[in-house]
Structure 1
Amino acid sequence: MSVDSWRLMVRHQTGYSYDGPVSSSYNEARMWPRDEARQAVLDARIEVSPSARTYRYRDYWDTLVTAFDVHAPHEALTVTVTSLVETLPPGDLIGPGEGAGWDELAAPEIVDRWYELLQPTPQTTLDGELTGIAADLRAAHREPHAAALAVCDLVRAEVRYEPGATGVQSDALHAWTQRKGVCQDLSHLTVGLLREMGLPARYVSGYLHPQPEAQVGQAVAGQSHAWVEWWAGRWTAYDPTNGVAVGRQHVVVGRGREYADVPPLKGLYAGPLSTGQSVEVTITRLR
Structure 2
Amino acid sequence: MSSPVDSWRLKIQHKSGFQYAGPVSSSYNEARMWPRNDGRQAVLDAKVEVWPAARTYKYEDYWGTVVTAFDVHAEHETLTVAASSTVETLPPGDLIRDDEGVSWDDLVRPENADRWYELLLPTRRTGLDAELESIVADLRGRCATPQAAAMAVCAFVREEVAYVPGATGVQSDALHAWAQRKGVCQDLSHLATGMLRALGIPARYVSGYLHPKPDATIGESVVGQSHAWVEWWAGRWTSYDPTNGVPVGERHVAVGRGREYDDVPPLKGIYAGPPSTGQAVEVTITRLR
TM-score range normalised by the length of the shorter chain: over 0.9
Show structure 1 runs of 4+ deviating over 4 A.
none
Q: Counterpart amino acid of 1:128?
A: A
TM-score (norm 1): 0.99
CA distance in 1 between counterparts of 2:171 and 2:137 reads 27
- Greater CA deviation, 88-97 or 117-126? 88-97
**Structure 2 runs not aligned, ≥5 long:** none
Q: Post-superposition shift, 1:151? A: 0.5
> Which residue of structure 1 lines up, in the alignment, with residue 221 of structure 2?
219
Query: For 1:71-110, what aligned pairs fall within 5 Å after superposition?
Result: 71-110=73-112
Residue 241 of structure 2, aligned match among 239, 259, 271: 239
Q: Size of the alignment, in residue pairs?
A: 287
Q: CA deviation at 1:96?
A: 3.6
Task: Please give the TM-score of this superposition, normalised by the length of structure 2.
Answer: 0.98
> In the alignment, which residue of structure 1 is the partner of 2:136?
134
Distance 1:129 1:135 in 2: 10
Determine what percentage of the aligned residue pairs are the same residue.
72
Q: Which residue of 2 aligns with 1:20?
A: 22
Q: Cα deviation per residue 1:110-160 (whole Å; 9 max; x = unaligned)? A: 100000000000000000000010110111010111110110011001101
- Counterpart of 1:59 in structure 2: which amino acid? D
Q: Over the residues paired in the alignment, what is the CA RMSD in angstroms?
A: 0.7
Cα distance, 1:107 vs structure 2: 0.9
**CA distance in 2 between partners of 1:131 and 1:87 (Å):** 36
Unaligned ranges ≥5, structure 1: none
Structure 1 residue 3 displacement after superposition:
1.8
Equivalence for 1:229: 231
1:12 Cα offset (Å): 0.3
Match runs of 1:164-203 below 5 Å: 164-203=166-205
Looking at structure 1, the residues matched to 26 and 190 of structure 2 have their Cα atoms a distance apart, in angstroms, of 33
**Distance in 2 between the 1:58 and 1:49 partners?**
23
For 2:159, the equivalent position in structure 1 comes to: 157
Deviation at 1:51, TM superposition (A): 0.4
| Secondary structure of 1:188 counterpart | helix
Q: Residues 223-256 of structure 1, C-alpha deviation per residue, up to 9 Å, x if partnerless? A: 0000000000000000000000000000000000
1:106-125 matches, cutoff 5 A: 106-125=108-127
Q: Determine if contact 2:99/2:147 at 8 Å carries over to the other structure.
A: no
Counterpart contact for 2:102–2:234, Cα < 8 Å: yes
Alignment of 1:18-97 (within 5 A): 18-97=20-99
